[in-house]
């Protein structure tokens, strides 16, 4: 399978999932999310992963002055909660249908920018070195390619200012076997592989939590320019 074929399949499969029941595939805890419960679950994610970690994330900045990026925003579950905290939010997703649904849910929020991407880069966002924080959860665990994930990490490096944090989750259960055409079960990372990817892409992998488990969280800080 070529990279182009793989990216096309990711977009098609996630479009189908989004048309069938986007909110279920975004968060499989429930089949029948109400608006209120769905967006409350996004606030819970942000409470757990962001509001507990504001020292690393804000580094003394006022959140309302910060520009943040989310990779794999789905139907806007977490994006909405991010928009309640940060001054400017950019979010990308490979699925046009997910972006359509997120756009509907976040309509009227002038400080939120939703962009469909090609599944491996952030070429739709040109303002290099201007982002203060980047975040991604339950996205890379679905991507069946180390090269695609590493390319996103390089792209986030391009967009962040020196010293800023990219906090993201990967699959840490290395017993999981993914295959190139499966867009549900992605590749898994050992701790050594997570460290190697950071170093390949110009980040310091300062903290890592949950190695060996599905929710393996990585704190990558962009190294200051030398």
Interface residue list for ligand SAM (CB under 6 A): 10, 14, 25-26, 72-74, 77-78, 93-95, 98, 117, 119, 137-139, 142-143, 148
Q: How far is the CB of 198 from ligand SAM (least distance, A)?
A: 19
**In 3D, which of 26, 184, 150 has the Cα closest to residue 99?**
26
The residue (of 14 and 166) whose beta carbon lies closer to ligand SAM is: 14
C-alpha torsion sign, points 78, 81, 85, 88: positive
Token digits of residue 191: 């701790």
Residues 55 and 59: their CA atoms lie apart, in Å, by: 5
Q: Give 39 or 220: the residue with its C-beta nearer to ligand SAM.
A: 39
Q: How far is the CB of 158 from ligand SAM (least distance, A)?
A: 16
Residue 38 CB, nearest distance to ligand SAM (Å)? 9
Q: What are phi and psi of 158, to 5 degrees?
A: -60, -40
Distances (CA, A) of 226 to 87, 161, 162: 29, 13, 10
**Residue 179: strand, helix, or coil:** coil
Q: How far apart are CA 196 and CA 194, in angstroms?
A: 5
Residue 2 vs 226, nearer CB to ligand SAM:
2
Q: Which is nearer to ligand SAM, 107 or 192 (CB)?
A: 107
Shortest Å distance, C-beta 138 to ligand SAM: 4
Q: Which of residues 81 and 163 has its CB atom nearest to ligand SAM in the complex?
A: 81
At its nearest, how many Å lie between ligand SAM and the CB of residue 33? Answer: 11
């Amino acid at each position: 399978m070529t990279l182009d074929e793989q990216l096309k399949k990711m977009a098609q499969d996630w479009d189908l999932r989004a048309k069938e029941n986007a909110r279920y595939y975004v968060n499989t805890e429930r089949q029948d999310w109400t608006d209120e419960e769905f967006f409350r679950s996004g606030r819970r994610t942000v409470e757990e992963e962001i509001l507990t970690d504001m020292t690393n994330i804000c580094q003394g900045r006022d959140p309302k002055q910060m520009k943040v990026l989310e990779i794999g925003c789905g139907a806007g579950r977490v994006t909405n909660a991010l928009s309640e905290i940060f001054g400017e939010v950019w979010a990308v997703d490979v699925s046009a249908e997910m972006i359509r649904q997120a756009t509907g849910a976040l309509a009227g929020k002038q400080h939120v920018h939703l962009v469909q991407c090609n599944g491996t880069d952030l070429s739709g966002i040109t303002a290099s070195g201007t982002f203060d924080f980047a975040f991604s959860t339950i996205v890379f665990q679905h991507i069946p390619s180390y090269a695609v994930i590493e390319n996103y990490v390089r792209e986030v490096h391009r967009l962040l200012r020196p010293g800023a944090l990219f906090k993201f989750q990967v699959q840490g259960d290395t017993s999981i076997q993914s295959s190139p055409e499966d867009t549900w079960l992605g590749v898994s990372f050992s701790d050594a592989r997570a460290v190697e990817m950071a170093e390949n892409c110009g980040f310091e992998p300062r903290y890592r939590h949950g190695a060996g488990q599905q929710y393996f969280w990585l704190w990558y800080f962009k190294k200051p320019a030398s």
